Chains A and B, each alone.
Chain A
């Protein structure tokens, strides 16, 4: 449902941006081709796919200027994402919002700008496709329509990437996408010294569900438990299906105890609420392994392995329980 509420929901907007997992990725030809096309079709010296992060604008692609990012406060596109319509600036020196902007007063001396919001299907403007000129100029309705069409093509490519990152059955991330995100979160947590934790869980006796009730029933169990999990996670948490019946959750800014509490809530909810399959109610449980990030973990593989060790212990201890995450266990995580 798209409405103007999303325009003021900065937290939701940033979460939508993160879901594309595109920030700080290397330049890629598909986006380069589109910005080059914008430049040549509209006859502008600069075209860019600009994504607006919390404190910066970051260019997925920029043609005609060597730049990687700028601070958000001097970004034109920051203004574009505040509206649904294209933003047209014919002469930035005559616009009070931009006349003193260092990108106008100094290099590259931007004079005119046309920006189209990059609006996600759920209504968040994650950035803008923009065309920039060094001289004042107007943009015709036809030119605005053309750039709007190019913006849709940019979104299609980002969407395509997101589909490829999603497990079709459960809507969670694929293993590869989850690992990519975990690598970034690991680096971020290390850089800022912040907490982060992993929960992995595995559905108990899942093979028996498939064998006894059939694969459609197994699929229904996977979907239902995934949805229950999504229902309690924050936008910033990363949830992936990393194996047949195994899932992983990465919780930024969460210590081991917080992760343990969440895992216990999930475990109880799974165990207390049977899954409706056709006319039957299946009682399904899961086992959980938790590991908070600590100084001795040197990468995502080690982090995941430590959580997996706790998951194995949970299976050994009779299933339908959580292992790891307690303060006294953190020390032996690695």
Chain B
């Protein structure tokens, strides 16, 4: 039971990333990021934090990655167009 809501929190936070058109070369990075976010969510839960507090932390951590991901996608597209 306690492990299901970290999963739900991470899935919700990752949704805006999943919706992006992701180049193949970046997919393993996204999978790894999802796993690391899950580990963080479980860690926060184990430290006694409740869902209400975990959710914004995971959301913020994920949005940080999303900013970087969008830059990476744009950079790769630009390079691809020049080849």
Q: Check if A84 is an interface residue, CB within 8 A of chain B.
A: no
Q: Decide if B78 touches A176 in the complex (CB within 8 Å).
A: yes
Docked pose: A160 CA to B48 CA in angstroms: 31
Q: Decide if A157 touches B64 in the complex (CB within 8 Å).
A: yes
Docked pose: A37 CA to B60 CA in angstroms: 8
Q: Check if A243 is an interface residue, CB within 8 A of chain B.
A: yes
Collect the chain A residues with CB atoms within 8 Å of residue B72's CB.
Answer: 160-161, 163-164
Closest to B41 in A: A149
Q: Decide if A149 touches B39 in the complex (CB within 8 Å).
A: yes
Which residues in chain A, 136-176, are within 8 Å of chain B measured between CB atoms? 140, 142-143, 145-146, 149-150, 152-153, 156-157, 159-161, 163-165, 167-168, 174-176
Q: Decide if A165 touches B68 in the complex (CB within 8 Å).
A: no
Closest to B66 in A: A30
Q: Decide if B43 touches A142 in the complex (CB within 8 Å).
A: yes
Indicate the size class of the contact surface on chain B.
20 to 34
Q: Check if A33 is an interface residue, CB within 8 A of chain B.
A: yes
User: Given the interface contacts A153-B40, A156-B33, does A244 sit within 8 Å of B26 by beta carbon?
Assistant: no
Q: Decide if A175 touches B39 in the complex (CB within 8 Å).
A: no
Q: Check if A29 is an interface residue, CB within 8 A of chain B.
A: yes
Q: Check if A301 is an interface residue, CB within 8 A of chain B.
A: no
Q: Check if B47 is an interface residue, CB within 8 A of chain A.
A: yes
Docked pose: A146 CA to B71 CA in angstroms: 27
Q: Decide if B75 touches A174 in the complex (CB within 8 Å).
A: yes
Which residues in chain B, 57-83, are within 8 Å of chain A measured between CB atoms? 57, 60-61, 63-65, 67-69, 71-73, 75-76, 78-79, 82-83
Q: Decide if B67 touches A41 in the complex (CB within 8 Å).
A: no
A216 → chain B closest CB, angstroms: 15
Closest to B24 in A: A168
List 11 A–B pairs whose Cβ atoms lie within 8 Å, in order of A's numbering.
Answer: A30-B65, A37-B60, A41-B49, A41-B57, A146-B44, A150-B40, A153-B40, A156-B32, A157-B68, A160-B69, A161-B68
Question: Top 10 A-B pairs ranked by shortest CB distance?
Answer: A164-B72, A149-B40, A142-B47, A33-B64, A164-B75, A174-B79, A30-B64, A152-B36, A146-B43, A145-B43
